[in-house]
Structures are given as structure tokens and as C-alpha cells.
Amino acid sequence: MMKSFDVDDGTLVANSLASTKRANAGWREVPALKVTAPLTPEASFSTMPETLLSLGIRTRVRPELTCKLSLNSKLGTKKTMDKKAKVFLNTLLTTPSPSGSEWTIQRKWLDYVKGFADDVQTDIMGNAIGVIHPDAAFKVVLAGHCDEIGFMVTGISDQGYLSVCKVGGISPKIAPGMRMNVLGTHGHITGVVGAQAEHHGGLKEKIEVEQLYIDCGAQSKEEMEKYVQIGDFAVYHREVSYLLNNRFSGRGLDNRTGAFIVAEVLRRLAKKPPSADVGVYAVSTVSEEIGCHGAYFAGAGIQPNMAIICDVTFATDHPGVDTQKHGQYNLDGGPVLARGSVINPKINAMLEGAASSLKISLQYELLPGSTGTDGDRLRFTGSGVPIALVSLPIRYMHAPVETASMDDLEAEIRLICKMLRSLQGDEDLRPILP
């Protein structure tokens, strides 16, 4: 996460252990300085000079000086995320979880949620579930899928190269030249997707997945088979990057951010619970990218009275997007609420009321047909489940650099918590009554 802070005149202070004068220490006054500082889970604002240098503040401070940034009180107006929660988000975003191989990330999700949930469960599909008030008759599902797009190994050449097919809606155009994490049966190994040099003709204008190959450095098929079998998965080797203005970027924000959001809502509800008549089931679902299979099993097993789907949608505030065609959705514009024929208007009204109370801005996407999310399958379970869809806007969907705003993420968590705490457990969600 990146955070901008206004530092007033005179607030950049050096306290010398040797009582060195400011002038001799090389300090200079910087009135109205704007500092953009990386806010990682380990970050502190009582920091050493070398950290200030890394932030672009040029000083000639000596190592024995202790430096401190006194931050403007305007900082207090923004809600900040719990440090442990930030670490958990980073853990989810760096754990490989291609559709069909989500068990490692689900184990981490369950271990985290066990710390505050009243109950944790799994099902035959591999969904991970954390519950507040498991004995309540009125059940609310919060669904966020943990799976990501990727590749599956289809063959190993005599020279040890891996051929692949797509898992979910991944674009082969982006793959050439990318580092890969191959999730081998006998160990994870690093590879690269081969890219033809420009001197030898360069990349073809149209790239098909059948043309891709992964080079792990093996010299033969026999050597490669010591690590990888046909049917193993591969994902882009990509760490999370924290950008300016509280934005972050990485692989698979679609939709590990959703799996994070439902867990974080549950954590906050454990501290300040909803009505005892309302059971909240946070579900990290599987296989959304290949058909929303996990959501169907979750709905069939839990049989909820309502569901809120937490997924992502397309931010259109970057070059090259036809906003006349695709609509205007901005980072920092707030959560995106869906409107459409499959969306329950009463749930939407409650979410809008919560947003108004918290002064959270909402954006709206129009979905006259299906949603393209877990909600499409979950709503058909049991006698039917009324749904709402709350989405995090992200740029560069299904690229290894999906980008979102931490402020939007926090706003969505607060919105859902507020709405769930308003439930009494006797809500009638039928759009029209007899």
C-alpha cells in the first residue's frame, strides 16, 4: 500500500544522540513537504535515515541520528486496516491458487479464520467456511472465490519444455517472456515462457496457447519428469506491488481480494457481532473461474436465506477503454453495486442505506442478464437464494498486474459490516408481497 502524508513546516525532526546541531547534521527545512511513503505491514513512522532516503528525501544524516515523521492530524480521518489483516491479504495474493488446485490457499484461509469464527467448515468441493452464530435460523452467505486463472501442463517435450493449456480466461498474448511458477507434483519450480527474439522474427501477431512453452532449464524429458507431471498447474511468478496513492497491484486480485473481504468482514463481526438471530457464513469458494462450481455446493450445503457475492469488476479509468461502451468505473470511486434482473432490490436497498450512513460513495454496474460471478450458480440452490453483488473495481482484469485501491477495499468491508449489523433475522426479501 502507498500512503500520502502532508508534513507541515518543521515536522521533519532529527534528534542527535551526540547533540549535533541541525546545520551540522545536514538537515534542511522542507515547508509543506508531501511525502509518499510505502505502508507495508512492517512499516513504522519512527524510522531511520536510510528509510527516509528510500522515500526520496535527500539528506546528509549520519547513522547515529534517529529520525521521526510527525504526521498531520488529517491522517486520522481515514480508516486504516488492521496490521494482521494486511499481512493476511498479502499472504493470499502471493499463494498460488489456480482453479482445481486451491487447497494450499484454503488451508491458510481456514487457519486464519479459526482465530475468530464460532465455527469453521469445509465441504466435498473444497470450499472453506467460517461462521458467526452457526445456530441462527436466518443465514447469510458472503461468497468470495479464492481461485485464479492459470495454465495446465499438457505435455513434456524430449528437450524438457512444457506445453500448456488455459485454466480459465487467461490471455496467451501476455505470457511470452513471463516468469512462471510451475506447481509440480514433486516440487514447485521456476520457469519462463519462451519469447522469440526480434532478430529471429519476433512474436507472432496472433498468439495461441498451443504456441506457448515453459522453459524450466531442464535438459531432457526425463529430468523434467522428476518435478512435473501432465496435469500439473502453472501460474505467473508475480509478487504484490504497492503503488502510489494507496493502490496495489498483483496477480489474481480476481478474486483473492474477495476471499480476503469475506474473511475480514467475519473478523470485524466477531468483535462487534450482528443480531444473534443472524448467522453469517463467510465462504472462500473454489472453481469460480471455470464455472462457479464451488458456489453451487456452498449454497446447497448451507441453504442460506440470502447471499452477498464479493467479486471484482472492470475499472475503466485508464487509457484505451471506451467508457461510452463499458461505463465509467474508477479506482477510489467506492465499491460497485450491481443492478439487474437477478439482483434482489431489497438487499441492494439495505446496502445503499449502509453506504449513506457511512458516507461511502457507491458506483453502479448494470447487469440485465447474468452476473458472471458465483451468484449465478448459488442463487439456484435450495428453494432459491436472493443475491446482491458488491464488486471491487480493478484495472487490467486477468493480467498479472491487476490493480486496485486499498481505500475501495476498506470501504467495501465497512459497508458490508454495517449492513449485516442492521439485520434482525426476520427480513422478508420477496420483492412483492401477497
For 119-175, write each residue's pLDDT tens digit: 999 999 999 999 999 999 999 999 999 999 999 999 999 999 999 999 999 999 999
- Where does the pLDDT of residue 34 fall: very low under 50, low under 70, confident under 90, or very high at 90 and above? very low
168 and 274 housed in the same domain = no
182 and 256 housed in the same domain = no
The grid coordinates listed for 21 are 546541531
CATH code of the domain in which 173 resides: 2.40.30.40
User: Is it the case that residue 382 has pLDDT exceeding 50?
Assistant: yes
Q: What is the average pLDDT across 165-190?
A: 95
37 and 113 housed in the same domain = no
In this structure, is residue 260 part of a structural domain?
Answer: yes
CATH code of the domain in which 389 resides: 3.40.630.10
132 and 156 housed in the same domain = no
In this structure, is residue 426 part of a structural domain?
Answer: no
352 and 227 housed in the same domain = no
User: Is it the case that residue 30 has pLDDT exceeding 60?
Assistant: no
pLDDT digits (tens, 9 = 90+) for 244-271: 999 999 999 999 999 999 999 999 999 9
pLDDT at 79: 66
The length of the chain, given as a count of residues: 434
The total number of structural domains in the chain stands at: 3
State how far Cα 201 lies from the chain centre. Answer: 38
Sign of CA dihedral 112, 117, 121, 126: negative
Q: Which residue among 45, 76, 107 closes a domain?
A: 76
Sign of CA dihedral 310, 311, 317, 321: negative
Q: What is the 3-state secondary structure (H, E, C) of the chain?
A: CEEEEEECCCCEEEEECCCCCHHHHCCCCCCCEEEEEECCCCCCCEECHHHHHHCCCCCCCCCCEEEEECCCHHHHHCCCCCHHHHHHHHHHHCCCCECCCCHHHHHHHHHHHCCCCCEEEECCCCCEEEEECCCCCEEEEEEEECCECEEEEEEECCCCCEEEEEECCCCHHHCCCCEEEEEECCEEEEEEECCCCHHHCCCCCCCCHHHCEEECCCCCHHHHCCCCCCCCEEEECCCCEECHHHEEEECCHHHHHHHHHHHHHHHHHHHCCCCCCEEEEEEEECCHHHCCHHHHHHHHHHCCCEEEEEEEEECCCCCCCCHHHHCCCCCCCCCEEEECCCECHHHHHHHHHHHHHHCCCCEEEECCCCCCCCHHHHCCCCCCCCEEEEEEEEECCCCCCEEEEHHHHHHHHHHHHHHHHCCCCCCCCCCCCC
The grid coordinates listed for 390 are 458488491
- Residue 41: count other Cβ atoms within 10 Å of its Cβ: 16
In this structure, is residue 263 part of a structural domain?
Answer: yes
269 and 297 housed in the same domain = yes
> Who has greater pLDDT, 32 or 83?
83
Residue appearing with cell numbers 450445503: 301
User: Is it the case that residue 63 has pLDDT exceeding 50?
Assistant: no
Mutual angle of helices 406-421 and 345-358, in 10-degree steps: 110
User: Is it the case that residue 20 has pLDDT exceeding 70?
Assistant: no
107 and 134 housed in the same domain = yes
260 and 406 housed in the same domain = yes
In this structure, is residue 142 part of a structural domain?
Answer: yes
Q: Which residue among 26, 52, 76 closes a domain?
A: 76
220 and 267 housed in the same domain = no
In this structure, is residue 431 part of a structural domain?
Answer: no
Q: What is the average pLDDT across 21-50?
A: 36
Q: Which residue among 208, 236, 264 closes a domain?
A: 236
130 and 268 housed in the same domain = yes
In this structure, is residue 407 part of a structural domain?
Answer: yes
The grid coordinates listed for 177 are 517472456
In contact, 367 and 339? CB cutoff 8 Å = yes
Which domain, by its residues, includes 220?
150-236
pLDDT digits (tens, 9 = 90+) for 87-105: 999 999 999 999 999 999 9
Please give the model's pTM, rounded to 2 decimal places.
0.81
State how far Cα 338 lies from the chain centre. Answer: 19
In this structure, is residue 374 part of a structural domain?
Answer: yes
In this structure, is residue 195 part of a structural domain?
Answer: yes
Calculated CA dihedral for residues 99, 101, 105, 106, nearest 10 degrees: 90
User: Is it the case that residue 48 has pLDDT exceeding 50?
Assistant: no
CA atoms within a 13 Å half-sphere pointing along the CA-CB vector of 66 = 7
372 and 410 housed in the same domain = yes
Q: What is the average pLDDT across 178-190?
A: 96
User: Mean pLDDT over all residues of the chain?
Assistant: 85
61 and 119 housed in the same domain = no
Q: What is the average pLDDT across 230-236?
A: 98
What percent of the chain is modeled with pLDDT above 90?
78
